[in-house]
Structure formats: C-alpha cells, structure tokens
C-alpha cells in the first residue's frame, strides 16, 4: 500500500550528481511513480552554499545548508546522501539510519571506510542502505550481484573501476603522449577527483573493489590489507612493450575467492590485459566488470562509470527500489555475513608477471637475473631487451609463467640488491586468468 501523501525524499548535496538526480526525478516523475507503485515528493535539499547558481530550480523553502536537519526530519522517508567526503557524510548518514530512514548513497569512500558500522546500524534500526551508484556509476553491478546472480558463488571478479585512469592509459597508448600531458587534459575535462591521489594511486578503485567484495563474499576487506597501486609509474615504454606482447595496460581491480581453502583476495594494480579480451578493449572513461559465477559462468558489464547522468541513473534506480520497499513494507534481503572469511596470504595467490628491469649492459647480467628468478621457483616465459640511451644500460622486460606473489616478492627483494640493477624492478601483473588462489 502506498504512503499517504507520497514518499518524501531529501537530497543532501546538489553538486554534479545531486543536480542530475533532482533533474531526472522531476522530468520522469509520472513514469517513475508507476514503477514505484506510489507517489513521491522531492521534499528538501541541502547544500553548503545557499547562493550558488544551480542547473535545477529548488524552491527556497525546500533548501537548507544544514544537512542534519534533513537527516532528523521525521517527515523525510529517504535521505539521498550525495555530499561526498567521509566526515560530515558519516554523521548525516548515521543520524538518518538511527531515525530509521532509508539511505541512498553514491559515496564509495564512506562505505569502504565505515560500511561495516553503517550496515550494522541500519540493521539495529530497521533501516536500509542502497548504494548502486557507489560502484561503476551507471553500470547496475550492485543489482546484478544482489539479484540477477543471487544463486552464484563468485570465484573471480575483475574490473576497470576508475574512469580517469582508463582515460589516461587509453590516450597514452593511442597518442604516445606522456602521463603528465594527458593528466593535464583529464584535469581540464573535470575527470580527476579534487584529491587526485584517489584516482591516480588506485584508492578510488580500491574503495569500489571493497564494496564489490562485501557484496560477493560478505566480508569488508580492510584497505590496508589490500595491495593497491596506481598508474603513476606506468611509462609509455611499458605501454609499447605491452603492445608488442599483445596486451593493453589497464588499472585492474581483482577479487578472487577460493571456496575450497576458504579465503579471499582483493587488489588494485595496473595489469597487462590481453588485447583480445573484452576488458582489453574498454577504453576512455568507460568502466567494465567481469563476474564469473559458478553457475552462470562469465558475464561482463560495460558502461559509464561516472558523470552526472550515468550516476544519477544509478541513484534513481535505488530511490525507486527504496520507495517500493517502503510503500509495500518489504524488507530488502540482508547481505551475506562472512566476517570470519580469511584473507589470502601472498603464498596463496598465483599470478604471472611482467618485470621491467633497468640493468647494466654487460656480459652475464641476463643469466644472473634468470638465476635469481629460477632460485625462487619462477619460470621465465619471454625476454625482450632494448639498449637504454647509450649510457651502458639496457631495459630488460621479462614475462613469467604463473608463480606466487610470495615467490615474486622474494625475487624482487634480491633483484633490488643486485649490483647490476640501476633502479628497483617495476612489476605488472598479467591478467591471463591463470591467476588463482591455492
Ligand atoms: P560535488 O562536489 O559536485 O557536490 C557535493 C555537493 O554536496 C555540493 O552540492 C555541496 O554543496 C554539497 N555539500 C558538501 N558538503 C556539504 C555540507 N557540509 N553541507 C551541505 N552540503 C554540502 O560532488 P559529486 O556530485 O561529484 O559527488 C557526490 C557523491 O557521489 C560523492 O560521494 C562521489 O564520490 C559520488 N560519485 C560521484 C560521481 C561523479 O561522477 N561525480 C560518480 C560516482 C559517485 P555546494 O554545491 O553548495 O558546494
Ligand atoms: N573518479 C572516479 C573515476 C569517479 O574516475 O572513475 C567515479 O567514481
């Protein structure tokens, strides 16, 4: 039965995403109400600067600069948290959940850092959190995992979850321009987060990977236990070597689960993706996620991972779900809870590697490098060498067969100390799907 007077929505944050949500909810209200099975009211909105010019018209009496007043307003049913950040957003979200409201959020950083606490608070108060827009913008990956693929277990999920990095890597590859030059363009286009490290050092993708891992495996993986690297150290030369070997370089989030031994692994690292794999051809600001379910097999989702409209599309799908749930008194299903699931150790994780070394160009160096790898049980698959600027140095690129992360870490520690190495080794993982847990 629908709520008398309609479901009342409060939007906290009317920036890029919030304005898109307001605009599209208004423009499609009659058909969205049919989907929801009841009326809704865009009741209130909170912003930091009341006088800022906006692309949507909000009645002055509906606008406030006090988000807490919306979180605590007994008339509001759904609080849509689109303010970003983790401090005030946490306070507002907690207040709304304590008041039993449904929260819709796009805030991946908030969920990654405080998800465990927030979901527990929601449970205690009979409240609910919806978060489709927090991962991969417009791609409905949360619904896919929660609903469409519910019968499956997920041994392997990997994806391109940061549009900014994918844009930079794509243009470096196509145009042969440096990281810095393309980054400047990405800034001008407004792609890069205000805190650039979130994008460039892999943290934004890691926040999203943590959320996916929670949905798929019921465990909040602490960020500090995850290998997270960004794309700053990927050179044009790496991109060219990768092309010669038939690969593209992508910033890849990986979530592996070993159901036999009961552990899970998540990482975000730049990786070599085969050029003939679907994700190898997902370019520019697009995101993509491959999900392997034990029953369904592999399915791949591609779309816009950010931007006003794509993100608003995801937020609105949550609002409509939330409204239907409130109107009809349905309880959304509880996410899995596998808090005791163990994290895989480096000796449990099997990968193949791309290793770039800058070495002194003298007799025996290649044999010494190969010897160190062999002693750590690592088998070389291919070797490429190019002189480096006539300074008696050479760039050596090796690819390996599958070995453990632990074996490679031991080899790298020895290579770093080797007198013929000019710089520390640079590694990329190869996404050839020999990678697995054991
Ligand atoms: P913006 O910075 O564009 O907007 C933030 C909004 O929140 C602004 O309207 C701002 O007010 C308001 N705000 C911030 N702090 C306060 C406060 N203390 N009190 C009241 N209002 C406040 O962010 P986005 O729209 O880009 O992002 C919103 C969320 O969506 C973030 O969590 C982000 O990670 C997530 N997201 C964003 C995507 C994107 O493409 N932009 C994609 C996917 C997720 P004012 O306008 O007055 O300054
Ligand atoms: N900075 C993010 C990206 C925005 O580039 O993908 C979407 O979360």
Contact 427, 412 (CB under 8 A): yes
Q: Which of 303, 320, 354 is the last residue of a domain?
A: 303
Contact 127, 107 (CB under 8 A): no
Residues 277 and 151 reside in one and the same domain: yes
Write the CATH number for 36: 3.40.50.720
Separation between Cα atoms, residue 368 and residue 3, nearest integer Å: 74
Angstrom distances, CA of residue 88 to CA of 94, 99, 106, 289:
10, 17, 14, 31
**88 CA distance to ligand 2 middle (Å):** 21
Report the chain's C-alpha Rg in angstroms: 24
Contact 425, 356 (CB under 8 A): yes
Q: What is the DSSP string of 252-266?
A: EEEEEEETTTTEEEE
Asked, for residue 424, whether it belongs to a domain, the answer is yes
Separation between Cα atoms, residue 22 and residue 11, nearest integer Å: 8
Residues 180 and 242 reside in one and the same domain: yes
For residue 350, the tally of other CB atoms under 10 A from its CB is 16
Write the CATH number for 162: 3.30.360.10
Number of domains in the chain: 3
Residues 324 and 288 reside in one and the same domain: no
Point out the ligand 1 atom lying closest to the alpha carbon of residue 65: 20
Using most ligand atoms within 8 A of CB, pick from 160, 162, 208 the residue to mutate for ligand 2.
162
Q: Is 137 in the pocket of ligand 2 (CB under 6 A)?
A: yes
**103 CA distance to ligand 1 middle (Å):** 15
Please tell me the predicted confidence (pLDDT) of residue 436. 67
Please tell me the predicted confidence (pLDDT) of residue 388. 75
Asked, for residue 341, whether it belongs to a domain, the answer is no
Among the bound ligands, name the one nearest to the CA of residue 58. Answer: 1
Residues 282 and 380 reside in one and the same domain: no
Please tell me the predicted confidence (pLDDT) of residue 391. 77
Q: Is 133 in the pocket of ligand 1 (CB under 6 A)?
A: yes
Among the bound ligands, name the one nearest to the CA of residue 44. Answer: 1
Point out the ligand 2 atom lying closest to the alpha carbon of residue 161: 6
Catalytic residue among 94, 208, 248, 250: 208
Q: Which of 328, 363, 389 is the last residue of a domain?
A: 328
**Alpha helix (H) ranges present in 135-195?**
141-143, 163-175, 179-188
Q: Is 88 in the pocket of ligand 1 (CB under 6 A)?
A: yes
Write the CATH number for 353: 3.30.70.260
Asked, for residue 204, whether it belongs to a domain, the answer is yes
Residues 133 and 152 reside in one and the same domain: no
Residues 154 and 287 reside in one and the same domain: yes
Residues 112 and 215 reside in one and the same domain: no
Q: What is the pLDDT along the chain (438 residues), one digit of tens a residue?
A: 567 789 999 999 999 999 999 999 999 999 999 999 999 999 999 999 999 999 999 999 999 999 999 999 999 999 999 999 999 999 999 999 999 999 999 999 999 999 999 999 999 999 999 999 999 999 999 999 999 999 999 999 999 999 999 999 999 999 999 999 999 999 988 888 889 999 999 999 999 999 999 999 999 999 999 999 999 999 999 999 999 999 999 999 999 999 998 899 999 999 999 999 999 999 999 999 999 999 999 999 999 999 999 999 999 999 999 999 998 887 767 767 787 899 999 999 999 999 999 999 888 999 999 999 999 999 999 999 887 766 788 999 999 999 999 999 999 999 999 998 988 999 999 998 755 666
Please tell me the predicted confidence (pLDDT) of residue 438. 61
Point out the ligand 1 atom lying closest to the alpha carbon of residue 134: 44
Angstrom distances, CA of residue 317 to CA of 27, 41, 252, 310:
15, 16, 27, 11
Using most ligand atoms within 8 A of CB, pick from 44, 47, 90 the residue to mutate for ligand 1.
47
Residues 22 and 151 reside in one and the same domain: no
The answer for 100, left when phi > 0, alpha when psi is -120 to 50, beta otherwise, is left
Please tell me the predicted confidence (pLDDT) of residue 435. 58
Asked, for residue 105, whether it belongs to a domain, the answer is yes
Residues 21 and 95 reside in one and the same domain: yes
**285 CA distance to ligand 1 middle (Å):** 20
Asked, for residue 340, whether it belongs to a domain, the answer is no
Residues 108 and 132 reside in one and the same domain: yes
Whose CA is closest to atom 4 on ligand 2?
306
Asked, for residue 335, whether it belongs to a domain, the answer is no
Asked, for residue 379, whether it belongs to a domain, the answer is yes
Asked, for residue 363, whether it belongs to a domain, the answer is yes
Residues 392 and 355 reside in one and the same domain: yes
Separation between Cα atoms, residue 337 and residue 214, nearest integer Å: 9
Please tell me the predicted confidence (pLDDT) of residue 63. 98
Q: Is 3 a catalytic residue?
A: no
Point out the ligand 2 atom lying closest to the alpha carbon of residue 208: 8
Residues 169 and 284 reside in one and the same domain: yes
Q: Which domain, by its residues, includes 391?
A: 346-437
């Amino acid at each position: 039965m629908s709520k008398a007077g309609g479901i009342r929505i409060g939007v906290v944050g009317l920036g890029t995403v919030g304005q898109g949500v307001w605009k599209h909810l208004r423009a499609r209200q009659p058909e969205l109400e049919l989907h929801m099975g009841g009326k809704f009211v865009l009741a209130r909105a909170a912003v930091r600067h009341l006088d800022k010019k906006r692309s949507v018209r909000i009645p002055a009496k509906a606008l406030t600069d006090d988000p807490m007043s919306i979180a605590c307003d007994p008339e509001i049913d759904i609080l849509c948290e689109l303010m970003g950040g983790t401090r005030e957003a946490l306070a507002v979200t907690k207040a709304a959940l304590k008041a039993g409201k449904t929260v819709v959020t796009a805030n991946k950083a908030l969920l990654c850092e405080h998800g465990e606490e927030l979901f527990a608070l929601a449970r205690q108060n009979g409240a609910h959190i919806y978060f489709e827009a927090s991962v991969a913008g417009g791609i409905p990956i949360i619904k896919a995992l929660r609903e469409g693929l519910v019968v499956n277990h997920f041994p392997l999920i990997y994806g391109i979850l940061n549009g900014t990095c994918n844009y930079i890597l794509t243009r470096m590859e196509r145009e042969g321009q440096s990281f810095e030059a393309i980054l400047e363009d990405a800034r001008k286009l407004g792609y890069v987060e205000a805190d650039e490290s979130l994008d460039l050092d892999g943290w934004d993708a890691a926040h999203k990977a943590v959320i996916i891992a929670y949905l798929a495996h019921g465990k909040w993986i602490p960020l500090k236990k995850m290998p997270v690297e960004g794309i700053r150290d990927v050179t044009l030369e790496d991109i060219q070597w990768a092309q010669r070997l038939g690969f593209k370089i992508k910033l890849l989030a990986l979530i592996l689960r070993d159901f036999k031994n009961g552990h899970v692994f998540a990482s975000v690292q730049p990786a070599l993706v085969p050029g003939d794999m679907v994700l190898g051809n997902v370019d520019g600001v697009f995101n993509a996620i491959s999900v392997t379910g034990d029953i369904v097999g592999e399915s791949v989702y591609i779309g816009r991972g950010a931007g006003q409209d794509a993100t608003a599309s995801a937020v609105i799908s949550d609002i409509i779900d939330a409204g239907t749930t409130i109107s009809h008194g349905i309880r959304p299903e509880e996410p899995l809870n596998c808090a005791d699931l163990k994290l895989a150790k480096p000796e449990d994780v099997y990968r193949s590697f791309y290793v770039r070394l800058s070495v002194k160009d003298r007799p025996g160096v290649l044999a010494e490098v190969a010897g160190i790898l062999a002693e750590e049980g690592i088998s070389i698959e291919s070797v490429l060498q190019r002189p480096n600027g006539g300074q008696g140095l050479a760039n050596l690129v090796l690819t390996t067969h599958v070995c453990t992360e632990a074996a490679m870490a031991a080899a790298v520690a020895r290579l770093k100390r080797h007198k013929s190495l000019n710089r520390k080794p640079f590694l990329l993982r190869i996404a050839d799907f020999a990678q697995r847990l054991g």
